[in-house]
Amino acid sequence: MDNNQPEDEGVSVTFEVVEGEMEGGRHVPRRGVYLLPNLFTTAALFSGFYCVLAAMNGAYENAAIAVFIAGVLDGLDGRIARMTNTQSDFGAEYDSLSDVVAFGVAPAALSYSWSLSSLGKYGWMLAFIFVACAALRLARFNTQVDTTDKKFFIGLSSPVAAGLIAGFVWMGVEIGFAGPDVSVVLAVLIVSAALLMVSNLPYYSFKDLGASGRVPFAVILAAVGVFVLVFIDPPKVLLLMSLIYVVSGPVLAYRKK
């Protein structure tokens, strides 16, 4: 073998990401990823992973809180990307993969560990249905993102569905319910949330709220009121907020008709 021959330049190991961006009407390759929004996405992914570990170790309250933290971080990464003009295809795909873990696998593992395991094989089947519907909902969102009205989601968003399950578990733990005693109620809740995610019901996205930089003064007062209510009794208030949002979809669909 001739050691003086040049190495095959087509085979190389790299940890770099190269994606195309539109510039002057044509795609221009760019190396690297945007740091700030992807840091928030990574933090949301970590929260979802922590939820799974906490649920496996019986720390159900901490696991439920981790789901809500993931929801806050998931809301921030997209808004930060839009505000700083750092949106990218890589960020969108990474965000979806993070959401499958944080809002699909994590709440399903939490519900199974706390309650659904008492139903035997039916319990893990119900948990898997939730995971599958969350993944399907996110896949559909990615394919329709450029063709749907930005003011509305098609189907219940996965963070709210996850918050509904996590809020119920958190409230149950705080009140002192034994998970197996409410397994049927949780089963109905998790199947309902799963089906709503893949439904065609419209849900307000709040993406246009404050997009122009200014909002009515009443919005700030309402935000203060929400913060106060949440701190008074976090599990019950967050569960109630999730339930109100879940019901808003069918109500909005009825009004549109």
Segment among 55-64, 72-81, 177-186, 187-196 with least mean pLDDT:
72-81
How far is residue 239's CA from residue 234's CA, in Å, rounded to a whole number? Answer: 8
- Domains of the chain from N-terminus onward: 33-256 (1.20.120.1760)
Furthest-apart CA pair in the chain: how many Å? 78
Instruction: State the chain's mean pLDDT as an integer.
Output: 85
Q: Report the predicted TM-score, pTM, of the whole model to 2 decimal places.
A: 0.85
pLDDT of residue 7: 47
> Are 245 and 203 spatial neighbours (Cβ–Cβ below 8 Å)?
yes
pLDDT digits (tens, 9 = 90+) for 167-184: 999 999 999 999 899 999
pLDDT digits (tens, 9 = 90+) for 83-137: 888 878 888 889 999 999 999 999 999 999 999 999 999 999 999 999 999 999 9
Q: To which residue do tokens 């929004």 refer?
A: 37
| Residues in CB range of 250: below 8 A, 6 or more apart | 201
